[in-house]
Amino acid sequence: MTKMTPKTLKNVRPMGAAATELHIVDGRFAASAGEGAEVIDCGGRILIPGLVEAHTHLDKSLLGLPWYRNEVGPRLIDKIDNEREVKVSLGLDPQVQSERHAILAMSHGCTHIRSHVDVDTHHGLAGIEGVMATREKLKGMIDIEIVAFPQSGMMTRPGTAELMDEALAMGAELVGGIDPCGMEKDPKGHLDTVFALAEKHGKPIDIHLHERDALGWFSMEEIIERTVAHGMQGKVAISHAFCLGAVDRAYVAGLQEKLAENRIHILTTAPAAAPVPAVKELSAFGILVGAGCDGIRDTWGPYGNSDMLEKAMAVGQRNGFRRDDELELALEICTYGGAAIIGDEGYGLEIGCRADCVLVEGETLAEAVVTRAPRKLVLKGGDVTARDGKCVVEAP
Ligand SMILES: [Zn+2]
């Protein structure tokens, strides 16, 4: 994008505070905008930093296609096997699908996405190539970070680890992983491969862990052990982490202590029908927490609008939040939490921060979360990317 005109946001309430003026110069918040700045009257609305979608799957959504009738079996492996086949029968183009998905997210105020992208022996690197093309196309309008994700397994599908290696060499930013026991049935093989790839490429890790209770605890302990052995403190994230939502809170507390000690981050998708990590507890332990919508409108499930305010509400509902400070925490997870995990240092509304921000409706932050009205204005680096709930670019 071309250099933006300086802007002054007047009558704006940063994080729900009293109305003030904010200035944007060269894509960043500044002390003043000088003569000739474009003045935008924000009508007393609340300004928050850009929403951060920290766990999704841009290559999977069926947005823009005819309705997919879901008759998939109940097990994780049913969904995985079905999807690999359906991608072929529907002729899914990961570039087009990821662009549609990213534009929908932008329309809701999202400025950053971390997307897991499938790498398997059936589809090779087509997903990675497609999402990378979308990232290039939307450059400057949204930041997209790619996790090379062995959705169909590495131990169970020989040849996948080599493709993961290629994906990372091509520019995927993180190494993904998936249920080392429940799916791979070889925790040592899977996790040793994940950490070896991370070490070889000098890249961080984000592992899907759906395993519940004792099985999940076992895998988590194996992840913690390798994080220490490889000196990867601060560079490992665990997505879903359903096992932290287990009933045995004493055991979970011990695990959370170890996660905090090794600066392992947690990304919750706050699904409606699985145990979820208790985000308030995690935050109290000092663990960074982010959130994501996970896959939306795909062969896994029919739900999702790629709206991180909606996800903030889901985080609140799944965690039994009612108080305003609790809803503020849910929103913080969907903004600052995800940004810290992604490692965006210029994030925020302070002077010097990149002007990635969203005008939301509501008297307070809590009201903005529960109302989830169409976003009045979304800026990325000071440029408008969406207005009144509509992205400035058309989806393909
Ligand atoms: Zn996922």
Distance from residue 106's CA to the centre of ligand 1 (Å): 19
Sheet of strand 110-118, all strands in order from the earlier edge strand to the far edge: 51-56, 110-118, 143-149, 174-178, 205-209, 236-240, 265-268, 289-291
Distance from residue 328's CA to the centre of ligand 1 (Å): 25
Residue 1 has pLDDT above 60, yes or no: no
pLDDT tens for 219-267 read 999 999 999 999 999 999 999 999 999 999 999 999 999 999 999 999 9
Distance from residue 300's CA to the centre of ligand 1 (Å): 10
pLDDT tens for 91-139 read 999 999 999 999 999 999 999 999 999 999 999 999 999 999 999 999 9
Number of C-beta neighbours around residue 227 at 10 A: 24
**Closest C-alpha among 315, 366, 364 to residue 52:** 315
**Closest C-alpha among 220, 211, 205, 210 to residue 164:** 205
Sequence-separated (6 or more) residues with CB below 8 Å from residue 67: none
Distance from residue 49's CA to the centre of ligand 1 (Å): 24
Distance from residue 1's CA to the centre of ligand 1 (Å): 31
Distance from residue 59's CA to the centre of ligand 1 (Å): 11
Distance from residue 104's CA to the centre of ligand 1 (Å): 18
Q: Are 263 and 224 in contact (CB under 8 A)?
A: no
Q: Which two tokens stand for residue 310?
A: 């909606």
pLDDT tens for 290-299 read 999 999 999 9
Distance from residue 116's CA to the centre of ligand 1 (Å): 7
pLDDT tens for 234-244 read 999 999 999 99
pLDDT tens for 165-180 read 999 999 999 999 999 9
Distance from residue 56's CA to the centre of ligand 1 (Å): 6
Distance from residue 294's CA to the centre of ligand 1 (Å): 5
